[in-house]
Structure 1
């Protein structure tokens, strides 16, 4: 792996310096507070504005910023493991951070400049970024209807988006659109500008308080320095977005195990054909819990391995070595596809089989254990798992390049 300490880099990325214990000491108490109200927020669809603010004030948004610039200096592995711990506390709150974290990563990968210094300062001040890439009923980037047109020394953004995750909590919205000549740009616009309208109309049965509804923009200004060509976004952006979701899914498996253990201990009776009159002593029910724990082990192991591949890719990019970077992109793609298969299977299996240990009482709306399956199923639908095993097999057997060209005409997806 490239050692950034031995090179001169023109980007903001640096070797990780954060200690696991330090990060846990800062954030785990906040995660524990967030977990306390999780079922109430889920049941009553209460948006976690206060909880997001706690995390912003604690500095979760500056995890990846190097210490020399005022951040924690966390690695991607540390970042995604923390996101999984937050996902265990509340899968909705964890998902809210996906777009913000990705844009921070983009600016850390960008060349150092006065403009990007200003963005680093905004992150350090607690500014939060929501998403605005996907357009409803519009399958490809080639069909993008949102426009970003020049207006003096700034640009104006007009269009409509859906799956605008995190937008209701945001100070800035990261919006993709097209110029008159067809070039793709992303523009950062202020959440409170008069031309911005955000609506909580997300109808999914899971992830209900992530503010993933619709957004409209009418001549919203994006100032100089806040507009970037999409092709210049960081090279592992697609991987980052996927691994962020896999982190939340890993957290859901851990929450399922936690709640499953708690529910089995509370079970007051067992079936006549059980192996012990005490449910918590029944070997078969204990086996179910053990299997759920193994799913969690597999998910976290896959997440860590995947994140390490991205750390290696980030180091290659910072080193300015295009050949090494290309190799690391391939390795990261393989790791992300494999992790997606492992973690999604772990989450969907764990959130279903845990009920085998709990009996009819396990489906009580008081416990709300169904939220784990609903949230996992919703997150697992974001990326096309159905294609991943075929792509991996084709690469292993035939050497077919597994790295997609996200911006190929007519093919590029929109990040949902």
Structure 2
């Protein structure tokens, strides 16, 4: 286990990035090549990639944001989400498994240094992995949440049921939200193998087949007070982080669809009589389709970088203790996240569908499994309602209406499912 370096008391553990993006991508490239090689097979057979998730975590994916002088890789948020998008290009299911873990790491980095948080940093460095889900199994809202985190002597007891417990089957810890005795919301971290924890692989969606996004039940599961936190104290850009993690995965899906579309067109041997060249790979109209898919990948990557740069500025303001600047950037981050969501979701759904226009009937072969790109994109895009985003942006631009007035409990962002 990596030892922590002594440091003076600070606002948070956050520091300026010291990582090089190319070096980060090179660090993960060997395992990403192997992940991509068998992705379609895992999708078809619904095989959980425990070894590959573990290897990515061992190479440092789970500690990307931890500063180098604390034993991490010192990545910025922009670098973190670019790396995550490359993981998603190889396998979007594996990338999505890291969403809850990376978000909880970010939460602990935002927290004021303490003995309890030092312990969490050491856990992350040792490779301990966090999964979980906040959504109630019966679709209750947070206001009517039934899960409880109640005090019992020198510890807490967690009871309730959750759905969309993404990454739970890969995790060492589960991040659970419940009501305390006084009705306030608490986050409790419990060990996956504790007595009283039941995980069920019952996810029924047509996408995200291997993300372990099923149900979790908790019956009087003990939680250490050092692992229980008021939800109101979770990091201010938590909602944005969760959303951008999904957008990073969607960006990777577009890149994967482009990669597979190029390969499939290159391999195609026959063309239709209406074609402009008997060789499909030389047909200008089919090449145009691939070119258009490439522009959707370009737009998604540009939007992802734009929104993550805003988040980096927000994190820097928090680290500096500049609360006034932080408040301004929360709204800027929400607007940027909404814009990016509209751009990237539209690009993902369009790219993963129109790529078939370049391929003909052979493109729907089960062996190629190109439908997985659309199914995964459509499933991820359904996590939060993009249908409202353009209206919210317009109302903010024209009338100055707060884009997120009803989500203050989560630092004015939205987590989604």
Q: TM-score range by the shorter chain?
A: over 0.9
Once residues 409 and 85 of structure 2 are traced to their aligned partners in structure 1, the CA distance between those partners, rounded to angstroms, is 32
Q: Provide the rounded CA distance (Å) in 1 between the counterparts of 2:332 and 2:397.
A: 12
- Per the alignment, residue 183 of structure 2 pairs with 182
Pair 1:197-2:231 in alignment:
no
Tell me if structure 1 keeps the 8 A contact 2:243–2:415: no
Matches of 1:158 and 1:412, distance apart in 2 = 26
Q: Does 1:120 align with 2:124?
A: no
**Equivalent residues in 2 for 1:3-402 (5 A)?**
9-402=10-403
CA distance in 2, matches of 1:230, 1:45: 34
How big is the shift at 1:181? 1.6
Q: Per the alignment, in what secondary structure is the counterpart of residue 210 of structure 2?
A: coil
* 1:319-369 per-position Cα deviation (integer Å, ceiling 9, x unaligned): 111110011101101100000000000000000000000000000000000
Measured in 1, the distance between the counterparts of 2:330 and 2:228 equals 25
Distance in 2 of aligned mates of 1:101 and 1:237: 11
Q: Does structure 2 conserve the Cα–Cα contact (< 8 Å) formed by 1:200 and 1:212?
A: yes
Give 5+ residue unaligned stretches, structure 2. 1-7
Q: How many residues align?
A: 409
Cα-to-partner distance string for 1:396-415 (whole Å, 9 max, x where unaligned) = 11111113432569x99763
3-state DSSP of counterpart to 1:225? helix
**Aligned counterparts of 1:305 and 1:356: Cα–Cα separation in 2:** 30
Deviations 1:140-171 (A, max 9, x none): 10110000111112100000000000000000
Structure 2: distance between partners of 1:153 and 1:132: 25
Distance 1:40 1:205 in 2: 16
Residue 9 of structure 1, CA deviation? 3.6
Distance 1:415 1:230 in 2: 15
Where 1:324 maps in the other structure, the secondary structure is helix
**Could you give the per-residue CA deviations for residues 275-295 of structure 1, whole angstroms, max 9, x where no partner exists?**
000000000000000000000
Secondary structure of the residue aligned to 1:295 is helix
CA contact (8 A) 2:404 2:413 kept: no
Cα 1:352–1:46 change in 2 (3 A) is same
Shift of 1:59: 1.2
Contact 1:256 1:351 in 2 (8 A): yes
Hey, what does 2:5 align to over in structure 1? none
Matched-pair contact (CA < 8 Å) for 1:77–1:311? yes
C-alpha distance in 2, partners of 1:8/1:191?
A: 32
Taking the aligned partners of 1:286 and 1:52, their CA distance within structure 2 comes to 36
Describe the shift of the 1:397–1:414 C-alpha distance in structure 2 as closer, same or farther (beyond 3 A).
closer
Write the deviation string for residues 231-254 of structure 1: whole angstroms up to 9, x where unpaired.
000000000000000000000000
Q: Answer yes or no: is the 8 Å Cα contact 1:103–1:129 preserved in 2.
A: yes
TM-score with structure 2 length normalisation? 0.96
Equivalents in 2 of 1:57, 1:81: separation in Å? 19
Q: Does structure 1 retain, via aligned residues, the 8 Å contact 2:137–2:162?
A: yes
